[in-house]
Amino acid sequence: MYNPIHNNLIIGKKLIYLPSCHSTNDIAAELVLNGLAEEGTVVITDNQVGGRGQRGTKWLSEPSQNLTFSVILRPKFLPVAEQFLISQMVALAIYDYFSFYTNQVKIKWPNDIYISSKKVSGTLIENAVQGYGISSSIVGIGININQTRFETARSTSLAEALGTTLNLQSEFEKLGGLLDAGYLRLKTMKQNQVIRDLYLKGLHGYQNSVKFNYLNERVAGVVTGIENSGRLLVKLEGKEGIYDFGLKEIEWVWDE
């Protein structure tokens, strides 16, 4: 059971708690479709049985161990061409949340969060476009808090990193506060470049050599930036010019 975050201005002031559900993003989408959702409404569950990740992947989470929730936003102020700012804002809030606990945090483009070389958080953002603006944005977030058993060695949790379990309501309030502050910053439309710069500062591979799989070949490369559309800019070793990539067009390789 979770409580609303009354100190926030937008995100989490209204909260819908479900002991179990298929997908919080799907529930949030139904609320938006039926005109039942105020901006900032959070749909949160202890047991998400059909969580979705990026590129059709699944988000698996042990019941009552982690934070799995979706936030309903109405960023009509944001032009469609600038929609990646939502992803950057959310990634920064989660990055800052984990940075309270460890200095080993990195953003993996576009918005996964890693501690060292292990994934600790994933985000799925689904935007609805109307004309030149965004009528609604559903931000699905999965945060590994207390889970310690995973199907892949490339996953971790905050409890595993710290060696202690945490109170889920308290962690939800901390993260919710950062998301609220980040969204208020975005709404001003005066700090877009600040958001972009801070995102780059936390981005894995930015101005550092990392490894990729590209065209069935393992290559080294340096992330040089992010286009406003969200495409990743990379200088690949031994190749001319700067390449730009979308999802599925390049794969990160993590050192063991």
Residues paired with 112 in a beta bridge: 108
For the chain, what percentages of helix, strand and coil (3-state, to nearest 5) are there? 25, 30, 40
pLDDT for residue 53? 59
Using one digit for the tens of pLDDT, what is the confidence trace for 63-96?
999 999 999 999 999 999 999 999 999 999 999 9
Using one digit for the tens of pLDDT, what is the confidence trace for 8-23?
999 999 999 999 999 9
Q: Which residues of 6-45 are buried (b: 16+ CB within 10 A; e: fewer)?
A: eebebbbbbbbeeeebebbbbbbbebbeeeebebbbbbbb
Q: Which CATH fold topology does 15-202 show?
A: BirA Bifunctional Protein; domain 2 (3.30.930)
pLDDT for residue 52? 64
For 188, which DSSP code?
T
25-40: average pLDDT: 96
Separation CA 216–CA 147 (nearest Å): 34
pLDDT for residue 131? 86
Q: pLDDT class for 61, splitting at 50, 70, 90?
A: confident
Q: Which of 126, 147, 136 is nearest to 68 (CA)?
A: 147
114-141: average pLDDT: 95
Cβ partners under 8 Å of residue 168, min gap 6: 2, 64, 66, 67, 145, 146
Residues paired with 126 in a beta bridge: 138
Using one digit for the tens of pLDDT, what is the confidence trace for 182-235?
999 999 999 999 999 999 999 999 999 999 999 999 999 999 999 999 999 999
For the chain, what is the radius of gyration of the CA atoms?
18
pLDDT for residue 244? 97
Using one digit for the tens of pLDDT, what is the confidence trace for 37-60?
999 999 999 999 876 655 455 656
Mean pLDDT of the chain: 94
Separation CA 153–CA 89 (nearest Å): 28
Where in the chain are the domains?
15-202, 209-253
User: Does 110 sit behind a cis peptide bond, omega within 30 degrees of 0 on the bond before it?
Assistant: yes
Q: Among 58-62, 105-109, 187-191, 239-243, which stretch is predicted with the lowest mean pLDDT?
A: 58-62
Q: Where are the beta strands (DSSP E) in the chain?
A: 15-18, 42-45, 67-73, 105-108, 112-115, 118-130, 133-143, 209-214, 217-226, 232-236, 243-245, 251-253
Distance set, CA 84 to CA 38, 223, 228, 231 (Å): 22, 17, 7, 9
Reply yes or no on whether the pLDDT at 147 is more than 70: yes
Helix, strand, or coil here: 151? coil
pLDDT for residue 54? 53
pLDDT for residue 57? 56
Using one digit for the tens of pLDDT, what is the confidence trace for 148-196?
999 889 999 999 999 999 999 999 999 999 999 999 999 999 999 999 9
